[in-house]
Amino acid sequence: MSTSSETTRATGDTPETFATGTGTPVTGAGVTAPARGTRLALRGATLGRPGAPVVTGVDLDVAPGEILTVVGSSGCGKSTLLRTLAGLLPLLSGEVTQDGRPLTGPAADRALVFQEDALLPWRTLRANVELPLAIKGLPRAERRAQADAWLGRVGLADHARQLPHRVSGGQRQRAQLARALAAAPRAVLMDEPFGALDAQTRAGMQDLLVEVLGGTGATVVFVTHDVDEALFLGDRVALLGNGRLTAVRDVPRPRDRTAHDDPARVALRRDVLSSLGT
Amino acid sequence: MSRRPAARYALRAASLAAALGLWQLLTSLNVDLWLRFSQFPTVADVARAFGDRLSGPDYWTDLTDSLTRILTGFLLAAVLGVATGVLVARSRSAEDVLGPVLEVVRPIPAIALVPVAILLFPSNEQGIVFITCTAAFFPVLVSTRHSVRALTPVWEEAVLTMGGGRWRVLGSVVLPGALPGIFGGLSVGIGVSWICVISAEMISGQYGVGYRTWQDYTVVNYAGVFVGMVTIGVLGWLTSTAVELLGQWLTRWLPRTSYVPGGRMPRAAAVAVAGTGRRTQAGVPTGAGSALTSKDTEPGEARDEHLV
C-alpha cells in the first residue's frame, strides 16, 4: 500500500481556508476559543472486537486540522475505525496515538457524532448541548449561554426547549453537531452523521458542517458510505475495503460545490467508485 | 378515545356506584343462591360503622401506623432495589456475587419471612417494615435490572466521549434512561407492599389497619371487617396513584402516541409547522413564522429550506 507516503503530506488546507465567509454571528459568550486540531495516528493497527478483527494493518496519519473522510461499503469497518479513534474500542494490535502519545480511552477532546439519535431523549436540545459543558465543569449560567449560542449557530435557537423526539431528524443531527462542538474538542469523529437524512437535507447539513467547523481548527474524521459526500467534505479521502485501508487520496478543491465537474475530481470519483467495486 | 375528561370521570364514578348498588341489593335482599350474602353487612351498615370509626381515636392511629410501616418499607425497597438492580446489571462481579443469593431468596413469599423477622428484629414494628421492604424489593430489583440492560449503548458512548466518568454515566444516562422501567417495578412493588403489610399486621401487629380488621373478625364484627377492607382499598389506590403520577411526571419526556392531557402538544406542533412555513418558497409565512426569525439565521436562510 502506498498509504504511508501519502499520509505524510502536510495539509495545505488550513482551517481558515474553508471558513465559508458567511460570518456566522457568535454572541459574546465566547463560543469558540480556537482550539488547535489534534494529530491522530494508527501504526500497524488491527481493529475490531476481541476474536473478530475487522480491519488489519492500518497505517493512517490524520494531520491536525484536516478533514479526512473515510468511505467503504457497509460492514467494512468504518465505524470500528472511528470507535477506535474515539477510544471506545481498544486496539487488537499495533498502536494508536494522539499527538504522539498513546490513546488509552475516550476523552472530551475527541467528540463523537453518531448516525442514530444519540441525544438523550429526556433532555431538551439545550440541555443536551449543555451536557459536555457540565462535564467540563462550567458554571450553570455560562453553560446556558454557550449552549444557546451553539444552538443559534446551527439554526435551532427556536427549538432550544424542545425534546429531541419533537423535532425532525435533520434538526436532531444539527443538535448533535452543536453538542459535539460545544466543548471545543480538538478532534470531531463523525459516524455517518447524515446517513439517515434525505438528499436535500444532507446537502444542507454538509454546508452547515463546513460553516460551523470554520475557525474551530478541529481535526475531523468523517465516515460515510456516500462517495460524493466524502469528496465534497474531505481534504483527503481514505478507502476501506476487504479488511484493509486500501488508499488515501488527496481531494482536489474540497468543500467547493462548483468543483463537482472539475476533471481531477471526476477522475478521483471514478477511481474511488471502481475501487469500492460499484 | 375522544371522550372528554369530565365524561370519563363520570363514567368511573358510575362504575363504582353500580358496584356499591349491587352489593347493597344482594345483602339487603339476603340473597342466598349458593353464594350466601345473608351474613354480609349491607353498604348502609358498613357506612354507619365507618362513621363511628372515623370519630373514634383508634382509626387514625391504625391508619398512621400502617402508612408509616408501608412508606418506610417501600422507600427502603425502592432505594435498595434500584441500587442493587443497577449494580447487578452493570457489574459482572456483582452479578456473580449477588445473583445466586437473590435468585434463591426471590421465590420465597415475603409473608413466609414472618418467622425470620421475629427472630431477627427486636421489635414487631421493624419486622413488619422488613417484610414490606422485602416484598417490594424484588419487583423493583428485577425491573431495574432489565431496563438498565436494555439501555441504548449509544447514550453511554456519547457521555464517555464527552469525557464523562462512570458516575456521570450513572447519573446522566443509566438512572434517567431506566426510569420508565423502574417505575413499572415501583407500581408493582407498592401493590405487593400493601398485601404484605396487612398480612404481617394480621399475624404480628399491634395497631394498624390489618391488625384492626383481624380483631374485628375475631369478635364477629363483620361491618368492622368491611370498614378495614374499604380502608385498605382506598389507601392502596391512593398510594399506587401517587406512584403512578410521580412516574408519569418524571418520565414526561417519553414520546406519547395518542391522547396527551393538557393539550400542550398541539401548540408545540403549531410552532413546528410555523417554523417550516417560514422556509417554504411559496411565501405563506404565518405571523408566528416571522416572529421566529432570529438574529443568527441570516446566513442560513437560503440553506434552511433543506434542513427541515
SS3 for B156-167, per residue? Answer: HHHHHHCCCCHH
Q: Which amino acid is at A88?
A: L
B295:A152 CB<8 A: yes
pLDDT mean over A56-75: 84
Mean pLDDT of chain A: 78
Instruction: Measure B157 CA to nearest chain A CA, in Å.
Output: 7
B294, B297, B306: residue with CB nearest A204: B306
Residue A212: list chain B partners with CB under 8 A.
Answer: none
End-to-end CA distance of chain A: 21
Low-confidence winner among A78-92, A102-116, A245-259, B11-25 (lowest mean pLDDT): A245-259
Whether the CB of A90 is below 8 Å from some CB of chain B: the reply is no
User: Using CA atoms, how far apart are residues B79 and B160, in angstroms rounded to an integer?
Assistant: 26
Whether the CB of A266 is below 8 Å from some CB of chain B: the reply is no
Helix (H) / strand (E) element for B275: namely: helix B264-277
Contact A245, A59 (CB under 8 A): yes
Residue A155: list chain B partners with CB under 8 A.
Answer: 296-297, 300, 304, 307
Chain A interface disruption, residue of B175, B251, B307, most A CBs within 10 A = B307
Which residue has 459574546 as its cell numbers? A28
Whether the CB of A155 is below 8 Å from some CB of chain B: the reply is yes
pLDDT reported for residue B15:
93
The DSSP bridge partners found for residue B285 are none
A107:B158 CB<8 A: no
| Cell of residue B224, nine digits | 368492622
B163, B294, B296: residue with CB nearest A108: B163
Q: Domain coordinates of chain A in residue numbers?
A: 37-102+189-278, 121-184
DSSP type of residue A67? E
Residue B153: list chain A partners with CB under 8 A.
Answer: none
- What are the φ and ψ backbone dihedral angles of A242, each rounded to 5 degrees? 55, 40
pLDDT reported for residue A14:
38
Whether the CB of A165 is below 8 Å from some CB of chain B: the reply is yes
pLDDT reported for residue A183:
84
pLDDT reported for residue B72:
93
Q: Which amino acid is at A188?
A: V
Over the stretch A223-232, which tens digit does the pLDDT of each residue have?
988 888 888 8
Contact B46, B223 (CB under 8 A): yes
User: Using CA atoms, how far apart are residues A132 and A135, in angstroms rounded to an integer?
Assistant: 5
User: Using CA atoms, how far apart are residues A150 and A29, in angstroms rounded to an integer?
Assistant: 10
pLDDT mean over A15-27: 37
Q: Residue B209 CA to chain centroid, in angstroms?
A: 21
DSSP type of residue A164? G
Whether the CB of A136 is below 8 Å from some CB of chain B: the reply is yes
User: Using CA atoms, how far apart are residues B188 and B191, in angstroms rounded to an integer?
Assistant: 5
Whether the CB of A102 is below 8 Å from some CB of chain B: the reply is no
Q: Which of B165, B204, B212 is nearest to B62 (CA)?
A: B212
Chain A interface disruption, residue of B151, B152, B157, B162, most A CBs within 10 A = B162
Whether the CB of A153 is below 8 Å from some CB of chain B: the reply is yes
A118:B155 CB<8 A: yes
Residue A110: list chain B partners with CB under 8 A.
Answer: 161
Query: Is residue A278 over pLDDT 70?
Result: no
User: Using CA atoms, how far apart are residues A145 and B2, in angstroms rounded to an integer?
Assistant: 42
Nearest CA in chain B to A155: B297
pLDDT reported for residue B133:
92
Residue B294: list chain A partners with CB under 8 A.
Answer: 152, 157-158
Residue B298: list chain A partners with CB under 8 A.
Answer: 25
User: Using CA atoms, how far apart are residues A31 and A146, in angstroms rounded to an integer?
Assistant: 6
Largest CA distance in chain B: 85
Instruction: Measure B164 CA to nearest chain A CA, in Å.
Output: 6
Number of Cβ pairs closer than 8 Å across A and B? 117
User: Using CA atoms, how far apart are residues A103 and B56, in angstroms rounded to an integer?
Assistant: 73
SS3 B306: coil
B253:A123 CB<8 A: yes
Q: A37-102+189-278 is classed in which CATH architecture?
A: 3-Layer(aba) Sandwich (3.40)
Nearest CA in chain A to B160: A106
- Answer with the residue of higher pLDDT: B239 or A47: B239
CA angle A201, A204, A206 (to 5 degrees): 110
Q: Which of B71, B47, B50, B69 is nearest to B59 (CA)?
A: B50
User: Using CA atoms, how far apart are residues A117 and B296, in angstroms rounded to an integer?
Assistant: 25
Q: Which of B151, B155, B154 is nearest to B182 (CA)?
A: B151
Which residue has 402538544 as its cell numbers? B265
pLDDT per residue rounded down to tens, chain B (308 residues):
556 788 889 999 999 899 989 988 888 888 778 888 887 888 888 888 888 888 888 888 888 888 998 999 999 999 999 999 999 998 888 888 998 899 898 888 888 888 888 888 888 888 889 999 999 999 999 999 999 998 888 899 889 988 888 898 999 899 999 999 999 999 999 999 999 888 888 887 678 888 888 888 888 888 888 888 888 988 999 999 999 999 988 888 888 765 545 544 444 444 444 444 443 334 333 333 333 333 333 333 333 333 32
User: Using CA atoms, how far apart are residues B229 and B22, in angstroms rounded to an integer?
Assistant: 17
DSSP type of residue B263? S
